Amino acid sequence: MDFESTRGMSGLMFPEGPRWRDGLFWFSDILAGQVHATTPEGKLVESFDVPGEPSGLGWLPGGDMLVVSRVDLCLYRRHGGVLTRHADLRPVHSIYSNDMVVDRHGRAYVGSVGFDFNFNTTPNSIGSALALVHPDGRLETAASDLKCPNGTAVTADGRTLIVAESMARRLTAFDIGADGKLSNRRVFAELDYVPDGICLDEENCVWVAAVDGPGVIRVAEGGEIRDRVAIVDGMVFACVLGGADRRTLMICAGVTHHSDEAIAARAGRIEFARVAVPGAGLP
């Protein structure tokens, strides 16, 4: 089934990392260095600055917000409106920390691009790691040799983590142990497109922002595409299900991944679509 989207905020540089929390949609405008919160109707209600280009977002059980700093390779913690460094990601990440999911225990799983997409690198030959940051800031490697671990989600029962390996064009699943460690690595779905941000629904399907594809696609385990939201003007970067019934799909869209072009164009935008199956799990 094809769902139609409606335009929300526009004039952004590079919107990413959308989240639903306490009645608001949150997202990072990476190249503007800001995190924003909007109502489900698209009204801006809060913004704050983050050093080193914010990306993935999440929350600790006590309510403090976690924000990935993409360039600074660190994880910030926001308490009372003040940012402090929660974890240094450099022992695990070499370049561009990226998207993140925080589970219900406060464990943050943070991906890394692993290459500089602004230059002529060979991303398919580069492996990067998924970092695990415990609630006390302790860092370890959750999984290695991933091809650009990007959007990440945790199932509603907290037992499975799914990560989009962008440069491998696949979704990869892991079992989550009681200690947060990952095991039983397996392919959830092979894709014909580059997956970026992802989210889950109650039927255990994954909504995938397909960067080089038709928009946002809904993928079942094994790779069947069941639904989509077509985005014809540009490309999509990320998505999340939210709203009071978790049936509103918030989509981050733009025209380019390249920093200079995105800054000059300011063509990043938020779109919304109403879908049939509610969201589940995290984010």
Least trusted range by pLDDT, from 104-108, 131-135, 212-216, 218-222: 212-216
The CA-atom distances, in angstroms, between 89 and each of 10, 93, 180, 199, 224 are 31, 6, 17, 24, 35
Quick one: pLDDT at residue 118? Answer: 54
Per-residue tokens: 15:
């919107």
Task: Say if residue 14's pLDDT is above 60.
Answer: yes
CATH of the domain at 213: 2.120.10.30
Give the number of other Cβ atoms within 10 Å of residue 4's Cβ.
9
Query: How far apart (Å, rounded) are the C-alpha atoms in residues 180 and 183?
Result: 10
pLDDT digits 0-9 by tens, 48-65: 999 999 999 999 999 999
Task: Say if residue 119's pLDDT is above 50.
Answer: no
Task: Say if residue 128's pLDDT is above 70.
Answer: yes
User: Strand, coil or helix: what is 47?
Assistant: strand
Q: Which H or E run contains 263?
A: helix 259-265
Residue of 68 and 261 predicted with greater confidence:
68
Q: Which of 273, 260, 208, 199 is nearest to 235 (CA)?
A: 208
pLDDT mean across residues, the chain: 93
Quick one: pLDDT at residue 101? Answer: 98
pLDDT digits 0-9 by tens, 200-254: 999 999 999 999 998 999 999 999 999 999 998 889 999 999 999 999 999 999 9
Quick one: pLDDT at residue 6? Answer: 82
First-to-last CA distance in the chain? Answer: 23
* Residue numbers of the domain that contains 197: 2-280
Under the banding of pLDDT at 50, 70 and 90, the label for residue 124 is very low
Quick one: pLDDT at residue 46? Answer: 95
Under the banding of pLDDT at 50, 70 and 90, the label for residue 264 is confident
Quick one: pLDDT at residue 116? Answer: 64
Question: What is the tally of structural domains in the chain?
Answer: 1
My answer on whether omega of the bond before 283 falls inside 30° of 0, hence cis, is: yes
Under the banding of pLDDT at 50, 70 and 90, the label for residue 1 is confident
Under the banding of pLDDT at 50, 70 and 90, the label for residue 115 is low
Q: Which long-range contacts (CB under 8 A, 24 or more apart) does 79-83 make?
A: 81/48, 83/50, 83/51
Residues above pLDDT 90, as percent of the chain? 82
